[in-house]
């Protein structure tokens, strides 16, 4: 078997060739206390893996040895390195930058572009089960993609191709699983979280070089936390912005936070009409093909906001975007609420039902018995569980978070960073730092439930002095709330599900109105009863671009 590495230059990976060593890499990593980015990252990777003291052949024989070497790299990165003895492809612990591979005519192909691979290999056979999963969830789980014979490296995974044997294997060097749950008390954990936070943000600031930072600011905790820590570290080149439909309630809360912090803030309004004009543009179509990786639905919110800001010439080319993903997940905000209900049986079935209810419900009419059996079988396979396994609550949280980290977070949420890359900007994700992940994964579910520890930390430390001031409750549009009340009364009279009736008639006019791609309300009403949110429709757009 031969090998071919395909570097799609649209993704701006850096290339370095020195002698018989070739490296393509993106992002940045820390190694022995130093940060490496761009060409310097390529050079360092070549040094690490071609060092004469580095026993290549023992590493090939020892999966643990390769894992240990890769784990010395921390940060957000991906790379493919071609050395005399082997080729190694690696994505970081959150799959920040996707890598894809396929075998065809006795050749292994590796690339940073799914669409470049299928074009090169003329792959066009759809994976029907993956397509079903995509319709239900908005992304494909596991290593599969929407096309047969095209695969993706999963978060914390490497691919090693040994030239001598002309064979390859993939292996996990990291999974989001606790080593041992800490028994420290809350005060000690708050102090430890403080140390982890300061270290994370100090390292991040070191990589910024004083460049302008733009923070998409909401009314929640995570983006405010980003702002607070940059303020604490005296980073003063900060601009915040908030976006959405005119009158979006979260925008008002964000404005209060920005004023309280004394930083620049911009309101980026895009009406449904403006958003749909952007949606039906050639650029949006190209962005989707750039960002979907043939496995996930691209994120539109930041894409629209950046489009408008670029039109208004608000952003300089050296800007760095820093958002709050995914602090709510790591700090426990996604732990199922039913876990605290002692009347519910907590077992593997509970895990599967929670995952399906939260993540496989884009279209309610797809949740047939047959489809649910398929989804459950795949969940069990990915978690390596049996349906009748008995589990303690700590284990339920462990497996639930493992699934969400590997699938929704790393395939869908983190992939939202493609919107910044499309416009040529760098980004940072401090709340996905290695330090943060190592801390939060080992905190007991009781301390993480409803983000208890994180909220205690904010209350005690009040970083940036912007957490003790009341910015008011999450506001609700009064007219929209009145319409909901009337609709709910009608739903009860005719015996219809309240939430589904709300989706059918009102979501088109709600806070997420700009992200519905239907041009008219009548078009929306055709099947809106069964849908969950705009992603239900946006996932269809991806499927429409698959090769015949």
CB < 8 Å & 24+ apart, contacts of 45-48:
45/79, 45/81, 46/16, 46/18, 46/21, 46/81, 48/72
DSSP letter (8 states) at residue 154: P
Q: pLDDT band for position 61 (50/70/90)?
A: low
CA distance 251 to 301: 14
**DSSP of 331-351, one letter per residue?**
TTTTS-GGGG-TTS--BHHHH
Tokens representing 48 are: 């690490």
pTM of the predicted protein model: 0.96
Q: pLDDT band for position 250 (50/70/90)?
A: confident
Instruction: Please report, for residues 26, 68, 272, 328, the alpha-carbon distance to residue 51 in angstroms, rounded to integers and kept in the order given.
Output: 21, 16, 56, 41
Question: Across the chain, which distance is largest between two alpha carbons, in Å?
Answer: 78
Tokens representing 64 are: 């643990």
Q: Among residues of the chain, what percentage have pLDDT more than 70?
A: 97
Phi, psi angle pair for 515, to nearest 5°: -95, 0
**With the CA atoms of 517, 518, 519 and 523 taken in that order, what torsion angle do they form, in degrees rounded to the nearest 10?**
180
Q: pLDDT band for position 62 (50/70/90)?
A: low
Averaged pLDDT, 173-182: 95
Half-sphere CA count of 2, side-chain side, radius 13 A: 6
Helix 348-359, helix 393-404: angle, nearest 10:
30
Instruction: Give per-residue pLDDT as tens, 456-489.
Output: 999 999 999 999 887 776 666 778 889 999 999 9
Q: pLDDT band for position 217 (50/70/90)?
A: very high
Are residues 116 and 5 in contact, defined by beta-carbon separation less than 8 angstroms? no
Tokens representing 122 are: 């003329």
CA distance 214 to 309: 11
**Where does residue 136 rank: exposed (0-12), middle (13-18), buried (19+ CB within 10 A)?**
buried
Instruction: Give per-residue pLDDT as tens, 117-127.
Output: 999 999 999 99
Q: pLDDT: is 84 or 131 the higher one?
A: 131
Residues written for the chain: 548
CA distance 508 to 487: 14
Which pLDDT score, from 0 to 100, does residue 415 have?
98
Query: Over the chain, what is the mean pLDDT?
Result: 94
**Where does residue 380 rank: exposed (0-12), middle (13-18), buried (19+ CB within 10 A)?**
middle
Instruction: Give per-residue pLDDT as tens, 218-230.
Output: 999 999 999 999 9
Which pLDDT score, from 0 to 100, does residue 373 have?
98
Domains and CATH numbers, the chain: 2-172 (3.60.20), 186-331+404-465 (3.40.50.620), 482-543 (no CATH)
200, containing H or E segment: helix 186-208
CA distance 166 to 60: 13
Which pLDDT score, from 0 to 100, does residue 1 have?
80
Q: Is residue 184 over pLDDT 80?
A: yes
Tokens representing 484 are: 């909901």
Helix 249-261, helix 222-232: angle, nearest 10:
10
Which pLDDT score, from 0 to 100, does residue 518 have?
94
Q: pLDDT band for position 53 (50/70/90)?
A: very low
Which pLDDT score, from 0 to 100, does residue 165 have?
82
CA distance 15 to 22: 7
Averaged pLDDT, 30-34: 97
Contacts of 200 (CB under 8 A, 6+ apart): 430, 433, 435, 436
Phi, psi angle pair for 524, to nearest 5°: -60, -40
Tokens representing 77 are: 């990165």
Averaged pLDDT, 128-149: 99
Number of H helices, E strands in the chain: 23, 16
Contacts of 12 (CB under 8 A, 6+ apart): 26, 421, 424
- DSSP-assigned beta bridge partners for residue 238: 213
Are residues 489 and 280 in contact, defined by beta-carbon separation less than 8 angstroms? no
Q: Which of 454, 444, 449 is nearest to 181 (CA)?
A: 444
């Amino acid at each position: 078997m031969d090998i071919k590495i395909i570097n799609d230059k649209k993704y701006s990976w850096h290339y370095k060739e020195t002698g018989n060593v070739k490296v393509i890499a993106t992002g940045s990593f820390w190694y022995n206390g130093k940060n490496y980015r761009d060409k310097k990252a390529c050079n360092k990777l070549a040094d690490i893996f071609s060092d004469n003291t580095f026993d290549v052949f023992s590493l090939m024989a020892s999966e643990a040895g390769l894992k240990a070497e890769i784990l010395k790299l921390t940060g957000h990165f991906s790379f493919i390195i071609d050395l005399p003895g082997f080729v190694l492809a690696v994505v970081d612990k959150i799959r920040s930058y996707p890598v894809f591979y396929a075998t065809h005519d006795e050749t292994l192909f590796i690339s940073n572009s799914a669409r470049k691979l299928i074009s090169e290999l003329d792959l066009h056979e759809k994976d029907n089960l993956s397509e079903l999963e995509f319709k239900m969830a908005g992304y494909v789980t596991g290593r599969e993609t929407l096309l047969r014979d095209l695969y993706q490296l999963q978060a914390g995974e490497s691919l090693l191709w040994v030239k001598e044997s002309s064979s390859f294997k993939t292996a996990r060097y990291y999974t989001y699983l606790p080593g041992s749950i800490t028994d420290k008390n809350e005060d000690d954990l708050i102090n430890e979280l403080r140390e982890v936070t300061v270290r994370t943000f100090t390292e991040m600031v070191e990589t910024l070089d004083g460049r302008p930072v733009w923070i998409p600011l909401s009314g929640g905790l995570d983006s405010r936390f980003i702002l607070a820590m940059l303020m604490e570290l005296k980073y003063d080149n900060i601009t915040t912005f908030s976006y959405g439909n005119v009158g979006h309630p979260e925008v008002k809360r964000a404005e209060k936070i920005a004023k309280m912090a004394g930083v620049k803030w911009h309101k980026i309004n895009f009406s449904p009409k403006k958003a749909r004009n952007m949606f039906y543009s050639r650029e949006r179509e190209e962005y989707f093909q750039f960002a979907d990786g043939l496995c996930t639905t691209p994120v539109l919110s930041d894409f629209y906001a950046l489009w408008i800001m670029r039109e208004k010439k608000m952003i300089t080319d050296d800007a760095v975007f820093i958002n709050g993903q995914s602090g709510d997940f790591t700090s426990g905000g996604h732990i199922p609420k039913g876990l605290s209900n002692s009347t519910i049986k907590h077992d593997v079935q509970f895990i599967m039902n929670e995952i399906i209810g939260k993540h496989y419900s884009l279209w309610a009419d797809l949740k047939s018995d047959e489809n649910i059996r398929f989804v459950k079988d795949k969940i069990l396979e990915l978690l390596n569980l049996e349906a009748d396994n008995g589990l303690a609550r700590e284990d339920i949280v462990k497996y639930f978070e493992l699934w969400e980290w590997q699938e929704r977070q790393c395939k869908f949420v983190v992939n939202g960073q493609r919107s910044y890359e499309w416009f040529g900007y760098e980004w940072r994700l401090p709340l996905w730092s290695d330090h943060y992940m190592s801390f939060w994964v080992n905190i007991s579910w009781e301390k993480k439930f409803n983000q208890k520890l994180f909220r205690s930390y904010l209350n005690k430390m009040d970083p940036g002095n912007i957490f003790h001031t009341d910015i008011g409750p999450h506001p609700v549009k009064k007219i929209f709330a009145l319409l909901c009340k009337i609709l709910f009364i009608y739903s009860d009279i005719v015996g219809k599900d309240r939430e589904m009736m709300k989706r059918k008639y009102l979501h088109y006019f709600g806070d997420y109105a700009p992200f519905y791609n239907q041009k008219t309300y009548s078009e929306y009403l055709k099947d809106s009863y069964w849908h969950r949110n705009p992603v239900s429709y946006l996932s269809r757009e991806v499927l429409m671009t698959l090769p015949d």
